[in-house]
Structure 1
Amino acid sequence: MVGKRGAAVVLSSLLMMGSSWAWAATGQADSGKPSGEPSGEARESVLCVGASKSDYDPPLTLAPQQSRIRTTAHYACGVEPGGTVPAVGHMEGVAPEASCLGVNSSRLTETVRYGDGKHSVIVYTRNTTVRVAGAITIRLSGEVTEGRGKGQAARRTVSGLPEQLPTECLSSGLTGSTGWAQLEIHP
């Protein structure tokens, strides 16, 4: 029998898989360059998955407050048909009204460094947070502003659990969370 936390993780994982299939189907349908794009500039889709760890300063409580968010993700990225490279993503930003109920931020920036020497700088400007049975799923969306995928849409989905019991929201607060992240860059 699966407990509440297990069910939340399974549900979050299924949501992430579903979004991958939707983006993969879109990528197959639009494999060419948009009109007016200079020749020689390939538009490539990127799909990365891996472990993600976030830290909150100050810790999250039930009362909304400004909090600095720092995240590190260790990805395996599919960067071309059949090609996979390791990557590390570092994200940092300020959430003006973060709490245990949701981490809403107007702007976060992630720099992804790929094992093949390339990089992507992604600016996320939109987010949604869903909390189910203690697990949290955060979806960020924005655009690649520099490097691999420049000018393309980016979406980062992370499903995770707090590093402490949710009851910490009532006292000292949650200092961080760990989870499984998926990063999609698509024309």
Structure 2
Amino acid sequence: MFGIGRHGVAVALGAVMLAGSTLVWGPASQATTGGEGSVGCVGHSESRYGPPLTLLARPTHVHADITYACGAHGRTIPATGSFDSEAPAASCVAVAGGSGTETVRYAGGGRSLIVYDGATTLRVAGALVVIQRGRVVEGRGQGHAVQRTITGLPRELPTECLTSGLRGGGNEVQLEMEP
């Protein structure tokens, strides 16, 4: 089996971040007021898995609290997100599914309720890359398509998968609401 090494992980994560960064800071002001632009947010999430992830795939609840900085009206607006998902088969190696809901609350008022209905998940040498796709179903940006990209490295040792399991992690998140 081929080892990808830390350099390969850095290249893969860098490529995903670069691709996402070209989308994230587009003209955000129009989308928050109902126009034809896009809204981009970057942030950090803290996730919890219940039960903890092990090598054995099993149904798992995933919850994440996210802090965002969103581009709007030529300035950055803080926001928070709360994400929940029921993965039918999740383990340290793979997550089946990708559906879930996220509520984004913007500083100064307003929110977006997002439903994710698909995802691509990749783990390379311990690094996690998840690209979720969905739609804003309520609130700011209602009807807009959404792409959410999550990247990160586990904080716990991989040996935790063999014992008590991974209880959670911190990841970088990019959120793009397209017109």
After TM superposition, the score normalised by the length of structure 2 is 0.87
* 1:55-83 deviation line (CA, Å, top 9, x unaligned): 00000111110000000110100023x12
Change in CA separation of 1:76 and 1:99 when aligned onto 2, cut-off 3 Å: same
**SS at 2:153 equivalent:** strand
Query: Could you tell me which residue of structure 2 aligns to residue 116 of structure 1?
Result: 108
Q: Is 1:94 equivalent to 2:95 in the alignment?
A: no
Q: Is 1:49 equivalent to 2:42 in the alignment?
A: yes
Query: Could you tell me which residue of structure 2 aligns to residue 36 of structure 1?
Result: none
Measure the CA separation in 2 of the matches of 1:175 and 1:50: 21
Comparing 10-19 with 170-179, greater Cα deviation is found at 10-19
Residue 12 of structure 2 aligns to which amino acid in structure 1? Answer: L
- The 5 Å alignment of 1:80-91 reads 80=73, 82-91=74-83
**After the TM superposition, which segments of 4 or more aligned residues of structure 1 sit over 3 Å from their partners?**
4-7
Residue 14 of structure 1 aligns to which amino acid in structure 2? Answer: A
Query: Could you tell me which residue of structure 2 aligns to residue 77 of structure 1?
Result: 70
Comparing 52-61 with 104-113, greater Cα deviation is found at 104-113
* 1:130-165 deviation line (CA, Å, top 9, x unaligned): 111111111111000011111000011111122211
Query: Could you tell me which residue of structure 1 aligns to residue 12 of structure 2?
Result: 11
Indicate if the aligned counterparts of 1:43 and 1:149 stay in contact, CA closer than 8 A.
no
Change in CA separation of 1:77 and 1:10 when aligned onto 2, cut-off 3 Å: farther
Measure the CA separation in 2 of the matches of 1:44 and 1:96: 35
Indicate if the aligned counterparts of 1:9 and 1:160 stay in contact, CA closer than 8 A.
no
Gaps of 5+ in 1: 34-39
User: How many angstroms does 1:170 deviate by?
Assistant: 1.4
Query: Could you tell me which residue of structure 1 aligns to residue 123 of structure 2?
Result: 131
Aligned-pair identity (%): 45
Indicate if the aligned counterparts of 2:50 and 2:167 stay in contact, CA closer than 8 A.
yes
Query: Could you tell me which residue of structure 1 aligns to residue 170 of structure 2?
Result: 178
Change in CA separation of 1:79 and 1:120 when aligned onto 2, cut-off 3 Å: same
Indicate if the aligned counterparts of 2:52 and 2:164 stay in contact, CA closer than 8 A.
yes
Indicate if the aligned counterparts of 1:13 and 1:159 stay in contact, CA closer than 8 A.
no
Gaps of 5+ in 2: none
Comparing 42-51 with 110-119, greater Cα deviation is found at 42-51
Comparing 96-105 with 85-94, greater Cα deviation is found at 96-105
User: How many angstroms does 1:13 deviate by?
Assistant: 3.4
- The 5 Å alignment of 1:162-177 reads 162-177=154-169
Computed over aligned residues only, the root mean square deviation of the Cα atoms, in angstroms, reads 2.5
User: How many angstroms does 1:104 deviate by?
Assistant: 2.6
Measure the CA separation in 2 of the matches of 1:180 and 1:106: 17
